[in-house]
């Protein structure tokens, strides 16, 4: 009943917002403070590895035919790729030239070592002033082996994606959006496991009834080697764009998503988001509303000594009202984040400030910002599986709450060829989760150091604080060469845990692009990930934690554009053959590369 009353109030508030829109009140556009497009600050940086984001824009052909290396630190059994390409600006040519032939669709395929094969298609079906309809499809497979504990293990994966995207453009800058996405990621638990198949162990869950004498053999505590994650998302959105600073801005979205895996767990999710900007006198009013609901259904009687499944219903309702005042060079936002979570694990109410200010010190030279805000980070079953594919599939994770976050930043240009961003933030958080290997106690053992782990992960929780210092530097040497350097330092201070397990102390990325001529271009990228601690029972020195080696990942690539339709590319990843573990027990591929061809039509 409490949930019903709260949702009724929430929906009534949304209807009230729509009524205000219908009154056609005059509004002043609230632009983002920025120096230029290169260094534009969209929002405060969030250091937490978030859920995988659905592509919410129409597919477009990349300027380069290569699958553009992204600036990403999310490591897995597959090799890292480099930082995103910084495309140099090409000055307009004033001389008369024949009009270039424009193609709006693109297909490419590639082959590589570790038995890698892949391809993708971006096809714009309809594109005119009123409609846009596009299709995206892709697949990549690898049948490679990785050495784990002095033996070769199958580390193959298969990733298939598809999407259909529609836009209908109305008059007065209104847009209707329809997005559909499908993804299937199949992989294996190839990581290290110290369980002995014939040794008896005490079952993980006291509720499960093992056979006499109250133990189970290690073979019963090993998961099925194959796993997959299958997801489908459908979202419908409607919004407008205000170009003259007059009118009411709104952006509405409703979505449905379904997710399942090979273990038999199913999750259905419903999402709503509505953002509104109004004017009340000289002060703008911004109202952000959202609701997420996830329902998880689980199998019964599936490996009872290893898994402990439980059904779960999660509902999170959020409202963020704020007053905004914008001047020519300064802006101020004063708001409050309010949320209520109804969860079978635990019900919670969250309140955090949302206050920020920015100042344009000098046009095109220096921009300052700072404030105090907060963030609610719900952990759905799907989100946790995507964050760590090797997590135990019976895991339910609590919502993390970063209740207070102080931040300050500066963005600017040294010259027309250089730009920079620097930021510092201090977080106070509750119930943050940290991944650790799942472990088991051998029967008859009385020492906790005798526990052994398998190749799956569970979580530990803790409260604490985190200092984050980040920066970005861009430099264009010439029209042919440019570079990007980006880094972040993390300082963790936890209340109970000794270490922030599997969290790095720093991340650094570097990428350089060189365009030899109109046809041939090269890139070089480096990703560095600092040391991390892993909680591993049964170490020889009597400790239960060890330091994972820092990651040094070097990448090279080249592209040759034969003409307006054909291009060829190649790339080499992990050039120095660094053996790193993103998750303990899961080493990465060594030197790996690919070559491919792309065709525009």
Say how many C-beta atoms besides its own lie within 10 A of residue 117's C-beta: 15
Check residue 295 and give its pLDDT: 96
Decide: helix, strand or coil at residue 395.
coil
Check residue 173 and give its pLDDT: 85
DSSP 480: S
Check residue 213 and give its pLDDT: 56
Q: Which residues contact 137 (CB under 8 A, 6 or more apart)?
A: 120, 121, 161, 162, 163
Alpha carbon distance 139, 134 (integer Å): 17
CB 444 within 8 A of CB 214: no
Number of domains in the chain: 1
CB 532 within 8 A of CB 444: no
CA separation, residue 16 to residues 11, 274, 287, 600 (Å): 9, 12, 11, 48
Give the residue with greater pLDDT, 78 vs 561. Answer: 561
Check residue 402 and give its pLDDT: 95
Alpha carbon distance 198, 217 (integer Å): 5
Backbone φ and ψ of 12, nearest 5°: -65, -40
Q: Which residues contact 48 (CB under 8 A, 6 or more apart)?
A: 377, 400, 402
Structure tokens at 298: 């689980």
Cis amide bond preceding 135, omega within 30: no
| Partners of 275 in beta bridges | 251, 288
Instruction: For residue range 62-106, list pLDDT tens digits in order.
Output: 333 333 334 343 333 443 333 333 333 333 343 344 444 557 899
pTM of the model: 0.80
Instruction: For residue range 192-202, list pLDDT tens digits in order.
Output: 998 888 888 88
CB 359 within 8 A of CB 368: yes
Alpha carbon distance 181, 382 (integer Å): 15
Alpha carbon distance 504, 48 (integer Å): 11
CB 526 within 8 A of CB 82: yes
pLDDT at 460 over 60: yes
Structure tokens at 534: 């892993």
What is the domain range of residue 171? 2-600
Instruction: For residue range 368-425, list pLDDT tens digits in order.
Output: 999 999 999 999 999 999 999 999 999 989 999 999 999 999 999 988 899 999 999 9
Check residue 16 and give its pLDDT: 39
Check residue 281 and give its pLDDT: 65
- pLDDT band for position 305 (50/70/90)? confident
DSSP 528: E
Alpha carbon distance 234, 570 (integer Å): 35
Alpha carbon distance 272, 290 (integer Å): 5
Structure tokens at 114: 């570790």
User: Can you say whether residue 20 is alpha, beta or left, with left for phi > 0 and alpha for psi between -120 and 50 degrees?
Assistant: alpha
CATH of the domain at 550: 2.40.170.20
Cα-Cα-Cα-Cα dihedral of 184, 190, 195, 198, to 10°? Answer: 90
Alpha carbon distance 467, 469 (integer Å): 7
Check residue 335 and give its pLDDT: 96
pLDDT at 304 over 50: yes
């Amino acid at each position: 009943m409490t949930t019903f009353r709260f949702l009724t109030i929430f929906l009534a508030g949304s209807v009230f917002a729509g009524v205000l829109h219908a009154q056609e009140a005059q509004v002043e556009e609230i632009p983002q403070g920025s120096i230029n497009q290169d260094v534009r600050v969209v929002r405060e940086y969030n250091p937490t590895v978030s859920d995988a984001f659905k592509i919410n824009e129409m597919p477009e052909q990349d300027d380069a035919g290569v699958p553009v290396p992204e600036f990403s630190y999310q490591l897995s059994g597959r090799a890292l790729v480099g930082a995103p390409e910084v495309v140099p600006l090409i000055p307009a040519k004033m001389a008369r030239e024949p009009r270039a032939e424009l193609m709006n669709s693109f297909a490419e395929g590639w082959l590589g070592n570790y038995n890698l094969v892949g391809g993708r298609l971006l096809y714009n079906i309809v594109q005119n002033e009123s409609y846009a309809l596009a299709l995206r499809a892709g697949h990549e497979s690898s049948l490679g082996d990785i050495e784990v504990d002095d033996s070769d293990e199958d580390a193959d994966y298969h990733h298939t994606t598809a999407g259909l995207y529609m836009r209908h453009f109305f008059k007065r800058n209104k847009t209707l959006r329809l997005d559909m996405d499908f993804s299937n990621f199949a992989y294996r638990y190839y990581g290290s496991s110290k369980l002995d198949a014939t040794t008896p162990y005490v079952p993980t869950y006291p509720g499960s009834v093992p056979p006499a004498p109250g133990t189970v053999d290690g073979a019963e505590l090993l998961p099925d080697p194959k796993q997959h994650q299958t997801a489908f998302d459908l979202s419908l959105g409607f919004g407008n764009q205000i170009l003259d600073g007059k009118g009411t801005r709104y952006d509405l979205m409703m979505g449905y998503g379904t997710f399942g895996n090979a273990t038999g767990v199913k999750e259905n999710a419903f999402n709503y988001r509505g953002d509104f900007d109004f004017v009340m006198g000289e002060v703008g009013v911004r109202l952000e509303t959202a609701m997420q609901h996830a329902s998880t259904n689980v199998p019964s009687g599936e490996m009872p000594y290893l898994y402990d499944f439980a059904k779960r219903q999660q509902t999170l309702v959020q409202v963020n009202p704020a007053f905004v005042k914008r001047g020519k060079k300064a802006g101020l936002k004063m708001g409050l984040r309010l949320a209520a979570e109804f969860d079978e694990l635990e019900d919670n109410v969250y309140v955090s400030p949302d206050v920020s200010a920015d100042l344009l010190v000098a046009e095109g030279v220096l921009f300052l910002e700072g404030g105090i805000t907060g963030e609610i980070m719900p952990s759905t079953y799907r989100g946790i599986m995507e964050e760590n594919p090797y997590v135990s599939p019976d895991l339910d994770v609590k919502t993390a709450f970063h209740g207070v976050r102080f931040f300050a930043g500066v963005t600017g240009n040294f010259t027309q060829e250089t730009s920079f961003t620097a930021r510092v933030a201090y977080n106070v958080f509750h119930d943050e989760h940290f991944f650790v290997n799942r472990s088991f106690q051998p029967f008859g053992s009385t020492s906790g150091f005798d526990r052994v782990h398998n190749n799956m992960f569970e979580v530990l929780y803790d409260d604490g604080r985190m200092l984050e210092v980040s920066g970005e530097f861009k430099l264009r040497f010439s029209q042919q060469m440019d570079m990007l350097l980006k880094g972040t330092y993390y300082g963790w201070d936890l209340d109970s845990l000794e270490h922030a397990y599997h969290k790095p102390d720093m991340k650094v990325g570097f990428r350089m692009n060189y365009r030899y001529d109109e046809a041939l271009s090269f890139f070089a990228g480096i990703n560095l990930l600092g040391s991390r601690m892993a909680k591993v029972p049964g170490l020889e020195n009597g400790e239960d934690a060890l330091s994972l080696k820092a990651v040094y990942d070097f990448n090279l690539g080249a592209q040759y554009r034969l003409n307006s339709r054909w291009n060829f590319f190649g790339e080499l990843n992990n050039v120095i053959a660094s053996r790193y573990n993103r998750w303990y027990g899961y080493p990465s591929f060594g030197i790996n590369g690919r070559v491919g061809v792309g065709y525009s039509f």
